[in-house]
Structure 1
Amino acid sequence: MKQPVLPVLVLVSALPAAAQTAPAVPDTTQALPEVTVTYRAGSRTPVTFLNLSGQELKARSVGQEPSFLLTQTPAVTAYSDAGSTQGYAYFRLRGIDQTRINSTLDGVPLNEPEDQGAYFSNYPDLFNSLSSVQLQRGVGTSQNGVASFGGSLQLTSVSLLDSAHTTLGGGYGSYNSYRLYGEHASGRRGHGAFYARVSHLHSDGYKIRSANTSSSVYLSGGLFYDKTTWKLSVLAGQQRNQLAWLGVPDSVIRVNRRANANGPENDRFRQALVQLQNQWRLSGRSEISSSIYGSGLQGGYDFDLNAFLGLPSTSELYRYDFRSGWLGAFSAYTLRGQRFTWTSGLHLSTYRRRHLGSEQQAGELYRNTGYKREGSVFSKLEYRLGPLTLFADVQGRTATFRYRGSVPLEPQRWQFINPKAGLSYQLTEHTTLYYSLGRTGREPTRNDLFGGNDDLAADSTGRALMFNSRPEYVTDHEAGVRYVVPRLELSLNAYYLNFRDEIVLNGKLGPNGLALTSNVEQSYRTGLEGTAHWQATPKLQLVYNAAFNYSRIREQTQDFRPILTPAVLLNQEVNYSTGPWLLGVSARYQSRSYLDFANSATIAGYGLLNARVRYARTRWEATLFGNNLTNSRYFNNGYVEPDGTRKYFVQAPTNVYLDVRLHF
């Protein structure tokens, strides 16, 4: 889904939240560890989640967009504009798009406030500077920022207290894709520690004229004392893309699978952020964690109207430029007892974004500014009674959107009370059962409100022409079982999401190419998800996850399936290691999905086979990746034009990549 601001992220530091229940800790003068307490769920928290370690992410990461790394977890689908794994890529969770999935870094919201998408292209190598990722499915626990409507993606930054090291790396693969980077960690020295990573990436893309070139820098330093810890981080990045966000007609794909329906369109974005966080231990039982953050973005993209309409490109070329600023702060108090963990906190942010539209011959056509303010408070409690853990969580959230442009618009205001409750029962030492019930609401995005227009349109009387202004709500039931022993981890869960006024993609594009949405009367999503991780022998590892989805939308007297929501997703992986060698083989199956409300246009199901071979010594390692080894000719996203033309996003055939790393 293309957003007018494209990748707008804010990453910023840490805030504690409902941690796993722990016994009281006596007061001590031992120095605090790094600020890493977040909103993550623990083993007995009654929500559905899966963790990915930073080590695992680094082993698989060769510069691809994070969306593709997340497909290792249940119920996630992903696609890219360019067909390869670099450049703009997007993911959906249980069929729900990115604008409705809360993303945070150490508790700091990443979803851009106006359009609520979290896009990682501005910081292309970010996932290599993480210690872990937790993907919560469903409404989960309270988060800062936009509603965790379909789920929440929680990123935990790299630990400054890791041992000192320096790594240099590079790689090259199909479609002239390459990555160069350097990373250094000082380890703790006295009271201080420092980390830095610099990366540069490029890919020509699978489609014709779909190149991506991007760079990023991540710097972080910390001070560690007996009662307090400080951490300051700076993240900056820029990216340039040749755009390929238009689907290609199936008739053209049959002739040339690498065809690009976009004209000579480019974009360029630069973004930087600063984050400061503090953890202050009040006693052995309580602490306060606080963070302030700021981000600025500048850039824009071209829009070839003729290419969008299927006509030959001319000298007419539109341009959308953006400049935004975002400031926020949050703080939380945590108290731990013998049987409970209680956390309460608040978050405030203010955001503005200027929109400027122009045409290269006519010059400036319009400019307007959107303002978004948000405030939230929460309180959550985990209470343990022997094998039973009770969980309660309530959040109050308010958001206000104001607009300044040629068409007057009254401020849009929304208030939400988001309650959640659940329990888990430790049936045995290794087996935990859980159930949770939560409800959350979400305001529409600017794109929903304006019907895809970047400049607010007016009706015949001069009044603002508004489209989807109603908020949407979901009630989420989650039930599951987790089984963990030293060499085997299993989980199985069932869910039922019941929506009111759900805002869903309708398969159409607006006047400047943005995907359009509609409110629907009634809808639900339900399914089963399972994971298995088995270390069968010291050398052999088996990983499996599956998701089965049954979803329906009811509009007046018609029932149909939501678009881009496959009923079956299967992932299997086998890893075998011996000495310095590792061989991994993974397979993925994705069943068919629909492109329109009529359920007449489909994306066929497909299977993928990938493999990797790694050779590692003490000071260096090399990994060869092979993707789509069966050369499947597939696509996993698309839409239907009003005239019935079906347009698709083709993904790459067989491709390879060689990655080399040197450790010092």
Structure 2
Amino acid sequence: MKYLLLCMSALAIGQTNYGQKNTLFNDTTFLQPVEVNSVKATDKNPFAKTNLSKAAIKKLNIGQDLPFILNNTPSVVVNADAGTGIGYTGIRIRGTDATRINVTLNGIPYNDAESLGTFFVDIPDIASSASSIQIQRGVGTSANSAGSFGGSINVNTNDVVTKRNIELNSSAGSYGTFKNTLLFNSGIFNKHFTVDARLSNIRSDGYIERADARLQSYYISGAYIDKKNTLRLNAFTGKEITYQAYFGVNETALDTNRRYNSAGTAKPGAPYENEVDNYKQTHYQLFYTHEFNPYLKSNIAFFLTKGKGYYEQYRADEDLVDYNLPPVGTTTSTDLIRRLWLDNDFYGTIFSLNYNRNKTQLAVGGGYNRYEGNHFGEIIWAQKANTVPANYRWYDKDSRKYDASFYAKWTQNLTPELQSYMDVQVRNVQYQNNGFRKTPNISIDKNFTFFNPKIGLTYTKNYYKVFASYGRAVKEPNRDDFETATNQQPKPEVLNDFETGIEYNKNNCSFGANFYYMLYKNQLILSGKINDVGAYTRLNIPDSYRTGVELFANSTINKYVAVAGNVTISQNRVKNFTAFYDNYDFGGQNSTFYKSAPLVLSPSTIASLSVNLTPIKNGYINLTSKYVSKQYLDNTGNNNAALDAYFTQDAKVGYNIFGKSLKEVNIYVQAINVFSRLYEANGYSFSYLLGNKYTTENFYFPMAPANFVAGINIRL
């Protein structure tokens, strides 16, 4: 904080040259960050995508995690453990889960290297620093990190802000929600320098009992720019302490207390007050861009992401043998409090060389990164203190992952209307692990090499664009998949993605349709089967697919009314699938074969509609609707294991005031889920045979009924 304030003071002094004419920045195309070009699709690339501008992001940002800002883009479904969109949240694109969605921050990979998931709670309020976000659906053009396996989210914070700006954004709402953000942009000073900074504090008590979140973050970026070079350094940190709510609500409790949280209830009496996830993540990013001539530019970036934290649990009557401890006399178990730690470093580089002249665009580049993770567990308290040594660790396991990739992309204008696209990526992954918490004797040393080609054509004429593309993506299993016995090691997943689309864009009206067929080989899905070390695990399924159409339209009808909407209609199936369930009557497992069944948490219909009204000058009303059809909690199509379809309606009313001393003041009130629909956006299920009766138990993650946020944004 002290360092940030000193920077602001220094930059305020440095503004003495701000009013001078600077021809260096007349060409704003140079200000576009080259480092994101590798992963960002252009308007003529043959892929389905949605772009959110800085202004659009700002309108949607009320403090919720990034998935909720993207909620109304095509084919997106979001959820939140705590029910409010603050804390642990999730996102699916076309039914594809977060472990298969490639996320980059300024072109730098963000997905966790081992789990392949994305934990947006670790970068709270990153949207306030974002200058643009692109969501690609399907394989897309992503070139680095885990690779897109159904979708990509590319967040850019590196655009140059040429004018000085100070903003304070504050909001308060239901369930003890508060957000305060201070933003500072220096603009260009001393002809070449710029600094951007942000401080954020977000808190919420959560809709689910005790599911509170305490989130803090800062962001600071400094850049030097001249006619041929750009040098930028970013540093940002997120700190989160969230009470655990990832068990969900049992189906029985859902009818009586849909806010029930079983976390911490192992402790006798009142729930354990510190059953929390406590994690800090810090990012360092260094970029250098050089322009050799008007046609040739290069970029290289180095990054380091450091993370450390734990989740703490109260465990009742735990067997000492499970913690590698001997009995003490006749005592074989005790209540205890444990912390499961992760201390990890993720670092590497990305680079690219970009040529653009006449009818040809060429790009070559790649990346290399290394992940070092230390997983260990500590017991910090035991009810029977003599059973556990002080500062005791019952496991301490390391893992390493190396990821190297190289790509070449060629875009050629064949005619004034027709453009071809080719993209080839080679990626090598090596994963090493000396054991897991539950299976310490299993060590992993795997090496994979993947070849991912993409090809497409785009035809544009008279406000129309028509495109077709094919893309292939191969992805390695994640950490949990490897935690099996040697003879059940998983195979990589393969996706062949076929896309075609048509779009029309003229003046204040646009509409279009994307058609997709995503054919999977060896997709990893939960089957309910127990492996030979007694754990439920995902298995490779030979054949599955997603196919559908995405329709979208936007229209500014007049100066008072603008409308935007989208709908996705799809079929998502697994073929020749065998589901397993436990037989508690006779032991072992039973199985059922399905020739075809719906894929888990993949709704057949997703729709969104936004109506923006401007009834008076500087005043606005935004009405946003969302519909998600029925979703199954397993891959069997069991109607007793499903989320009901839901429809929600949000409304926002605001007013802007413009002045001289205060450039802009925006006041708003937003109602979320206006009609107080009781719905669940996520869940899980398991089935078993007991007493000769087939039983399915479901667990749900309820979302909050009607709740409200009021805020004020002040720009100096």
If the length of structure 2 is used for normalisation, what is the TM-score? 0.84
The corresponding residue for 2:68 is 68
The corresponding residue for 1:609 is 649
Inter-CA distance 621–551: structure 2 relative to 1 (3 Å threshold): same
Q: Partner amino acid for 1:402?
A: Q
The corresponding residue for 1:296 is 306
Q: CA deviation at 1:29?
A: 12
Is 1:399 the counterpart of 2:429? The answer is yes
| Aligned counterparts of 2:465 and 2:251: Cα–Cα separation in 1 | 49
| Aligned counterparts of 1:259 and 1:148: Cα–Cα separation in 2 | 36
Q: CA deviation at 1:642?
A: 3.7
| Aligned counterparts of 2:624 and 2:667: Cα–Cα separation in 1 | 19
| Aligned counterparts of 2:516 and 2:375: Cα–Cα separation in 1 | 40
Is 1:565 the counterpart of 2:617? The answer is no
The corresponding residue for 1:330 is 350
Inter-CA distance 213–418: structure 2 relative to 1 (3 Å threshold): same
The corresponding residue for 2:219 is 218
The corresponding residue for 2:709 is 657
2:249–2:261 CA contact under 8 A, matched in 1: yes
Secondary structure of the residue that 1:121 maps to in structure 2?
helix
Inter-CA distance 394–442: structure 2 relative to 1 (3 Å threshold): same
The corresponding residue for 1:437 is 470
Secondary structure of the residue that 2:704 maps to in structure 1?
coil
| Aligned counterparts of 1:432 and 1:108: Cα–Cα separation in 2 | 30
Is 1:384 the counterpart of 2:413? The answer is yes
Is 1:33 the counterpart of 2:31? The answer is yes
Q: CA deviation at 1:319?
A: 2.2
Richer in helix (by share): 2
Matches within 5 A, 1:121-520: 121-189=121-189, 190-263=191-264, 264=272, 265-304=275-314, 315-360=335-380, 361=382, 362=388, 363-386=392-415, 387-405=417-435, 406-407=440-441, 409-426=443-460, 428-451=461-484, 464-465=485-486, 467-506=488-527, 516-520=537-541
Farther off after superposition, 359-368 or 52-61: 359-368
Question: Among residues 514, 526, 544, which one is paired with 2:547 in the alignment?
Answer: 526
Secondary structure of the residue that 1:534 maps to in structure 2?
strand
Secondary structure of the residue that 1:253 maps to in structure 2?
helix
Inter-CA distance 503–408: structure 2 relative to 1 (3 Å threshold): closer
Q: Partner amino acid for 1:607?
A: F
| Aligned counterparts of 1:168 and 1:187: Cα–Cα separation in 2 | 17
1:262–1:307 CA contact under 8 A, matched in 2: no
1:214–1:240 CA contact under 8 A, matched in 2: yes
| Aligned counterparts of 1:512 and 1:357: Cα–Cα separation in 2 | 21
Q: Partner amino acid for 2:235?
A: V
2:31–2:159 CA contact under 8 A, matched in 1: no
Runs of 4+ in 1 over 6 A off after TM superposition: 27-31, 507-515
Higher relative contact order (CA 8 A, sep 6+): 1
| Aligned counterparts of 2:209 and 2:162: Cα–Cα separation in 1 | 43
Secondary structure of the residue that 2:57 maps to in structure 1?
helix
Q: CA deviation at 1:273?
A: 1.3
| Aligned counterparts of 2:350 and 2:61: Cα–Cα separation in 1 | 31
Could you report, residue by residue, the CA deviation over 1:556-582 in whole angstroms, capped at 9, with x for unpaired residues?
A: 552110110110011011001131210
1:507–1:639 CA contact under 8 A, matched in 2: no
Q: Partner amino acid for 1:88?
A: Y
Inter-CA distance 561–403: structure 2 relative to 1 (3 Å threshold): same
| Aligned counterparts of 1:447 and 1:150: Cα–Cα separation in 2 | 20
2:643–2:681 CA contact under 8 A, matched in 1: yes
Q: CA deviation at 1:647?
A: 1.1
| Aligned counterparts of 2:317 and 2:414: Cα–Cα separation in 1 | 63
Secondary structure of the residue that 2:336 maps to in structure 1?
coil
The corresponding residue for 1:595 is 633
Q: CA deviation at 1:658?
A: 0.4
Which runs of no fewer than 5 residues in structure 1 stay unpaired?
1-26, 309-313, 452-463
| Aligned counterparts of 1:410 and 1:85: Cα–Cα separation in 2 | 36
1:160–1:194 CA contact under 8 A, matched in 2: no
| Aligned counterparts of 2:88 and 2:712: Cα–Cα separation in 1 | 25
Farther off after superposition, 550-559 or 561-570: 550-559
Inter-CA distance 86–467: structure 2 relative to 1 (3 Å threshold): farther
| Aligned counterparts of 1:76 and 1:486: Cα–Cα separation in 2 | 27
Q: CA deviation at 1:162?
A: 3.6
The corresponding residue for 1:92 is 92
1:144–1:376 CA contact under 8 A, matched in 2: yes
Q: CA deviation at 1:481?
A: 0.5
Could you report, residue by residue, the CA deviation over 1:11-69 in whole angstroms, capped at 9, with x for unpaired residues?
A: xxxxxxxxxxxxxxxx9997942534522112211111111112111111111011111
Q: Partner amino acid for 1:381?
A: W
Farther off after superposition, 34-43 or 436-445: 34-43
| Aligned counterparts of 1:468 and 1:425: Cα–Cα separation in 2 | 45
Could you report, residue by residue, the CA deviation over 1:226-246 in whole angstroms, capped at 9, with x for unpaired residues?
A: 211111110112010110000
Q: Partner amino acid for 2:479?
A: R
Q: CA deviation at 1:181?
A: 1.4
| Aligned counterparts of 1:291 and 1:512: Cα–Cα separation in 2 | 43
| Aligned counterparts of 1:305 and 1:435: Cα–Cα separation in 2 | 55
2:442–2:483 CA contact under 8 A, matched in 1: no
Q: Which has the larger radius of gyration?
A: 2
Q: CA deviation at 1:175?
A: 0.1
The corresponding residue for 1:630 is 675
| Aligned counterparts of 1:178 and 1:376: Cα–Cα separation in 2 | 42
Farther off after superposition, 257-266 or 277-286: 257-266
Inter-CA distance 307–590: structure 2 relative to 1 (3 Å threshold): farther
| Aligned counterparts of 2:26 and 2:79: Cα–Cα separation in 1 | 50
Could you report, residue by residue, the CA deviation over 1:89-121 in whole angstroms, capped at 9, with x for unpaired residues?
A: 000111111011101112111111111112111
Q: CA deviation at 1:505?
A: 4.2
1:507–1:515 CA contact under 8 A, matched in 2: yes
Q: CA deviation at 1:142?
A: 3.5
Could you report, residue by residue, the CA deviation over 1:256-310 in whole angstroms, capped at 9, with x for unpaired residues?
A: 11111222321110111111101101111101111000110010112455699xx
2:304–2:348 CA contact under 8 A, matched in 1: yes
The corresponding residue for 2:331 is none
1:66–1:127 CA contact under 8 A, matched in 2: yes
Inter-CA distance 70–516: structure 2 relative to 1 (3 Å threshold): farther
Is 1:620 the counterpart of 2:665? The answer is yes
| Aligned counterparts of 1:641 and 1:476: Cα–Cα separation in 2 | 31
The corresponding residue for 2:612 is 575
1:221–1:233 CA contact under 8 A, matched in 2: yes
2:316–2:335 CA contact under 8 A, matched in 1: no
Which runs of no fewer than 5 residues in structure 2 stay unpaired?
1-23, 265-271, 319-333, 383-387, 578-592, 659-663, 689-695
The corresponding residue for 2:700 is 648
| Aligned counterparts of 1:486 and 1:508: Cα–Cα separation in 2 | 55
Farther off after superposition, 152-161 or 39-48: 152-161
The corresponding residue for 1:119 is 119
Q: Over the residues paired in the alignment, what is the CA RMSD in angstroms?
A: 2.4
Could you report, residue by residue, the CA deviation over 1:467-491 in whole angstroms, capped at 9, with x for unpaired residues?
A: 4520000100000001111101212
Q: Partner amino acid for 2:251?
A: D
Is 1:541 the counterpart of 2:562? The answer is yes
| Aligned counterparts of 1:177 and 1:608: Cα–Cα separation in 2 | 20
1:508–1:639 CA contact under 8 A, matched in 2: no
Inter-CA distance 158–285: structure 2 relative to 1 (3 Å threshold): closer
Q: CA deviation at 1:409?
A: 2.5
Inter-CA distance 285–515: structure 2 relative to 1 (3 Å threshold): farther
| Aligned counterparts of 1:246 and 1:66: Cα–Cα separation in 2 | 22
1:565–1:594 CA contact under 8 A, matched in 2: yes
| Aligned counterparts of 1:183 and 1:101: Cα–Cα separation in 2 | 29
Aligned residues: 622
If the length of structure 1 is used for normalisation, what is the TM-score? 0.90
